[in-house]
Amino acid sequence: MGLWKRLSTLLGAHAQDALSRAEDPVKLVNYQVAQMRDGVERAREEIARAIAAERRLSMQALEARKAAVGWDARARWAIGRGDDELAREALRRKTAAEDTAESYDRAHAQQAQAVAELKATLKHLTHLLQQAKARRDILLAHRDAARARHTAARGVTRITGAESAEAFERLAGEIEDEGARAAALLSLHAEDTDARFQALEEQAVIEQELQELKQEMGRLPDARTAGAIEGSEETP
């Protein structure tokens, strides 16, 4: 589990450093996700190297066992030739090869256990990375929703705020002023028309009174005289 400890220490150091420098929580979360992704990639590289070492140990153990079999065959050949000393040397080489094969087998077993632990660590890291991504997405969704609510609240404030109320009041006042000016113009026009009609009515009254006064004084011409006067006025 040495790799897991190294990765945990490394990620913790990076996260602490980012926490001390970051101002935006989203940037910090993205940074942590990126660091965890790098940790997963490093774990995969470690596993690849460990698997390669495991296979190499397995091949070396197999070669050592083949060598032991070969030395056993040589010992038998030397005995057949009556060369006991050569047979003894072959048997010593056989024993050494068997010891080497056993050493490789033990190392291979340990390496296989290490590979299994590394794979479990990688699985755990991958799970943590998926969780971090999911939490990051949730945080981003909450942030976007909060920003949307803030924007909407600012819009409502602008619509219902004091400045907007003053603007509406000012606009209403301007409309009322325009209406008052139009009403004043109409009133002036109506007063002028009324004055003209009143002047005509007064003139008609005066003319009526004049005719009545002339009639009373006998100053009005009779109908024939009036007709003759009118005819003479029309003749050029």
Task: Enumerate helices (H) and strands (E) in the chain, giving the number of each.
Answer: 5, 0
Residue 144 is predicted with a pLDDT of 82
Which DSSP letter does residue 220 get?
A: S
Residue 140 is predicted with a pLDDT of 81
Report the Cα–Cα distance between both ends of the chain, in Å, rounded: 139
- Please state the domain extents for the chain: 2-160, 166-219
User: Do the Cβ atoms of 146 and 26 come closer than 8 Å?
Assistant: no
Residue 229 is predicted with a pLDDT of 47
Q: Which residue has the tokens 């047979």?
A: 87
Residue 96 is predicted with a pLDDT of 94
Which DSSP letter does residue 161 get?
A: S
**pLDDT tens by residue, 167-177:** 656 766 666 66
CA 161 to chain centroid: 28
**pLDDT tens by residue, 43-93:** 889 899 999 999 999 999 999 999 999 999 999 999 999 999 999 999 999
Residues of the chain with pLDDT under 70: 1-24, 155-169, 171-197, 199-200, 204-207, 209-210, 212-214, 219-236
**pLDDT tens by residue, 43-57:** 889 899 999 999 999
Residue 28 is predicted with a pLDDT of 79
Residue 146 is predicted with a pLDDT of 82
Helix axes 84-160, 162-216, angle to 10 degrees: 20
